[in-house]
A and B are shown apart, each in its own frame.
Chain A
Amino acid sequence: MLLFSSIIIGIMFTVAIYLILENRLLPVLFGFGLLTHAANLAILTMSKNPVGKVAPIIKDGVSNYIDPLPQALILTAIVIGFGVTAFLVVLIYRIYTASGSTKISTIFNEETHI
């Protein structure tokens, strides 16, 4: 189970980095989204193997609860990632309207000295 999810996390990171290194803005956006999700999945994996464990609701005679903390952390991380992604979407749209191109090589072509 842990091996399986770590392989998935690895694949997600690979794809995310590939997308971030693309030349167009939209794949870069998806790359950042995928990157945060990969990190979230890694946090979830830290609650160890869930097979045979129960939700952390305290009852008599039950002791094999799953660790609830990573889920609390993941929630915060998802919200923050969501906010940043929303900002990124607007920023990319704004760059597109300002420069009329989605190719990063043409947008950042001239050496800008401010």
Chain B
Amino acid sequence: MIHILQSLINNIVVLPFFVALVTALVGIMWRLPGSGRRLFFSVSASIQVILACFIIFLTHKVKILFLPVGAWKAPFGISITIDIFGSLLIGITTLLSLFAILYLFATLKKSKENPLLLPLIQFMIAGIILSFSTGDFFNLFVSFEIFLIASYGLLTLKSDESSIKNAFPYLGINVIGGTLFVLGASFVYGMYGTLNFADISAQTSHLAQDPKLILIASYLVLVFGIKAGFFPLFYWLPRSYSCLPAPVAALFAGLLTKVGIYAIIRTLTTIFPLGLVSIYSAIGYLSIFTMVVAIIISLSRSNIREILCYNLISHIGFLMAAIAIFSPISLTGGIFYMMHHMVVIASLFLISGLVIQITKTDVLKDSGNVWKHHGFVGVLFLVQALSLAGLPPFSGFWGKFLILREAIRFDQVSVAAAIILASILTLLSMIRIWFHVFLKKNDGLKMGSVPKGFKRSTTVVSILVLFSLIMGIFSNPFISASNKAMSLLLNKSRYENKVLSYEQTLKMETDSHSSHSENDAHSKDVTKKDTNHHMESNHDTHKEVKHSSKHFKLESISKKEVSNGSSVH
């Protein structure tokens, strides 16, 4: 009975990816856009959200879900692995895709809908979900390519001159990024003879000072940094994102850059040994430049979408700062901030879509009057803008507070200063939009009749804003979930153990569960107390990790010998 239940649970791991993929394929077959097709897509997106919620529930119970595809043993076959961090991101991804699709239905006429639009969105979601749930480098590369190719399609779907011109640099940078990634994967394979995260982790646990390892890790961080939009590598992002329709732009902004950050966090925690101090400090310097330079550029831009794009890049810098400080609390804050930012930036792009529906323009100078005629849209914008800037009752505050506190605690004065400066300038750039678009009186602007579907799309956006508000006001469960995700990320032996010695999982689970559940704080007060404890025992964690991974290394070697032996005979 337990066995059947276990196998059922294991196969649920691939379901969100699989459902998205099948939906996309059916969408391609079902060519003509219509009500039935739209219903199918929205039902499928809701099913994905439910599945993702179930997976979040499961990961909170079992910590790590693991499926060796085709029952091939871990270092050899494809391994699908979801831990709490991955499951949280899958949850947000499916949620955003549902809201983007619903918004799309409200604003886009059926006759004007491109038959490839919805399948491509689902392909992109499938790729993103796969990249959050994969357990080896090559599969990560494949999932990157799945969502990138879908995003190329989405960018050029309109096929007018400006969109194809803007797609070209995007394509170029991503082809180069993909090639460098494949090269990095081949280096990893050449050095360690494996691509499996857990196996690399087991083999490199004692190599934290190895210059070759630092080189390959920093190379991979650079490769993922291209995707995330690090400081010198972000010029392509605003150009391409700002020519997309609002819901697609919301998905791009909310999800694509975060996959890069996810991959960096995965690389520096799960895969390579903890304590690569030189890489952290390099990321720290880059984060300062990313935060400050991008937000200053955003102040010079003159249309809403581009301002939002540069804000997006600037806030990638906050996530990088969280990685750079690399303490348990800063990572908790980073994970929470990541979830917050995915929701907030996506809803801001949707709100900009609403504004453009009303005023028919994206340029700040020509816009105005919105507050007078559509006050509710103004309220939605204000909530999300203040949340983005990080004002206390909203969700942006908690993540920023944790990261800033850790920056000050570790004497990273420049990072702390950059966080504060970038937050103030974010507020300034949001006030610019607020003044020009909402408050300003513009007699030249004709406020046409409310476009069809405007009410429905506003409802969709306001539900998303409500979710973001809940994240801010009732932040306890979200922060404790991030805390659990963080402690699982730093507890490398747990991951190795789960993946490399798969049959013993059930037994191990019960053994190790009790010892680590004390780290998982269940309320914020406890979080704060606990984090102090964490702080002091930061070095101890490293030791503990090393110690336990040694223990597991012996096991994994014997495991490999057994499987090698069986393959020869």
The residues of A with any CB-CB pair to B shorter than 8 Å are 20, 28, 32, 35-36, 38-40, 42-43, 45-46, 58, 63, 69-70, 73, 76-77, 80, 83-84, 87-88, 91-92, 94-95, 98-99, 107-108, 112-114
List 27 A–B pairs whose Cβ atoms lie within 8 Å, in order of A's numbering: A20-B172, A32-B172, A38-B179, A39-B186, A40-B182, A42-B187, A43-B182, A43-B186, A73-B138, A77-B141, A80-B149, A84-B152, A87-B152, A87-B171, A91-B152, A91-B156, A91-B164, A91-B171, A92-B168, A94-B156, A94-B159, A94-B164, A95-B165, A98-B165, A107-B165, A112-B166, A112-B239
Q: Is the CB of A35 within 8 A of B165?
A: no
Number of interface residues of B (CB under 8 A): 38
Chain B nearest Cβ from A69, distance in angstroms: 7
Q: Is the CB of B175 within 8 A of A35?
A: yes
Chain B nearest Cβ from A64, distance in angstroms: 12
The listed residue (A28, A36, A46, A83) touching B186 by CB distance below 8 A is A46
CB closest residue in chain B, given A32 = B175
Chain A nearest Cβ from B540, distance in angstroms: 38
User: In whole angstroms, how far apart are the Cα atoms of A112 and B190 in the complex?
Assistant: 44
Does B145 reach chain A (CB closer than 8 Å)? yes
Does B161 reach chain A (CB closer than 8 Å)? yes
Chain B nearest Cβ from A42, distance in angstroms: 5
Once A36-B175, A113-B302 are accepted as A-B contacts, the answer to whether A95 and B168 lie under 8 Å apart by CB is: yes
The residues of B with any CB-CB pair to A shorter than 8 Å are 138, 141-142, 145, 149, 152, 156, 159, 161-162, 164-168, 171-172, 175-176, 178-180, 182-183, 185-187, 189-190, 239, 242-243, 302-303, 305, 362, 567-568
Q: Is the CB of A88 within 8 A of B171?
A: yes
Q: Is the CB of A77 within 8 A of B182?
A: yes
Q: Is the CB of A36 within 8 A of B179?
A: yes
Query: Using Cβ atoms and an 8 Å threshold, which residues of chain B touch A114?
Result: 162, 166, 242-243, 303, 305, 362
The listed residue (B162, B167, B186, B302) touching A42 by CB distance below 8 A is B186
Q: Is the CB of B161 within 8 A of A84?
A: no
Once A113-B302, A113-B303 are accepted as A-B contacts, the answer to whether A108 and B175 lie under 8 Å apart by CB is: no
The listed residue (A63, A87, A112) touching B149 by CB distance below 8 A is A87
Known: A73-B185, A91-B171. 7 other contacts (CB 8 A): A39-B180, A39-B186, A42-B183, A70-B189, A73-B189, A83-B149, A113-B302
Query: Using Cβ atoms and an 8 Å threshold, which residues of chain A touch B161?
Result: 98-99
CB closest residue in chain A, given B76 = A69
Query: Using Cβ atoms and an 8 Å threshold, which residues of chain A touch B242?
Result: 114
Query: Using Cβ atoms and an 8 Å threshold, which residues of chain A touch B164?
Result: 91, 94-95, 98
User: In whole angstroms, how far apart are the Cα atoms of A114 and B145 in the complex?
Assistant: 27
Chain B nearest Cβ from A74, distance in angstroms: 9
Q: Is the CB of B568 within 8 A of A58?
A: yes
Q: Is the CB of B175 within 8 A of A88?
A: yes
Query: Using Cβ atoms and an 8 Å threshold, which residues of chain B touch A94?
Result: 156, 159, 164
CB closest residue in chain B, given A9 = B183
Query: Using Cβ atoms and an 8 Å threshold, which residues of chain A touch B149?
Result: 80, 83-84, 87
Once A76-B142, A112-B162, A112-B165 are accepted as A-B contacts, the answer to whether A39 and B171 lie under 8 Å apart by CB is: no
CB closest residue in chain A, given B190 = A46
User: In whole angstroms, how far apart are the Cα atoms of A42 and B28 in the complex?
Assistant: 36
For B152, B186, B302, B567, the residue with the greatest tally of chain A CB atoms inside 10 Å of its CB is B186
Q: Is the CB of B165 within 8 A of A108?
A: yes
Q: Is the CB of A63 within 8 A of B568?
A: yes
Q: Is the CB of B167 within 8 A of A91?
A: yes
CB closest residue in chain A, given B302 = A113
User: In whole angstroms, how far apart are the Cα atoms of A94 and B333 in the complex?
Assistant: 45
Q: Is the CB of A80 within 8 A of B243?
A: no
User: In whole angstroms, how far apart are the Cα atoms of A92 and B169 in the complex?
Assistant: 11
User: In whole angstroms, how far apart are the Cα atoms of A98 and B166 in the complex?
Assistant: 13
- List the 9 shortest-distance A-B pairs measured between CB atoms, nearest first: A46-B190, A43-B186, A39-B179, A98-B161, A39-B182, A80-B145, A39-B183, A114-B243, A46-B186
Query: Using Cβ atoms and an 8 Å threshold, which residues of chain A touch B239?
Result: 112
Chain A nearest Cβ from B186, distance in angstroms: 4
Chain A nearest Cβ from B143, distance in angstroms: 11
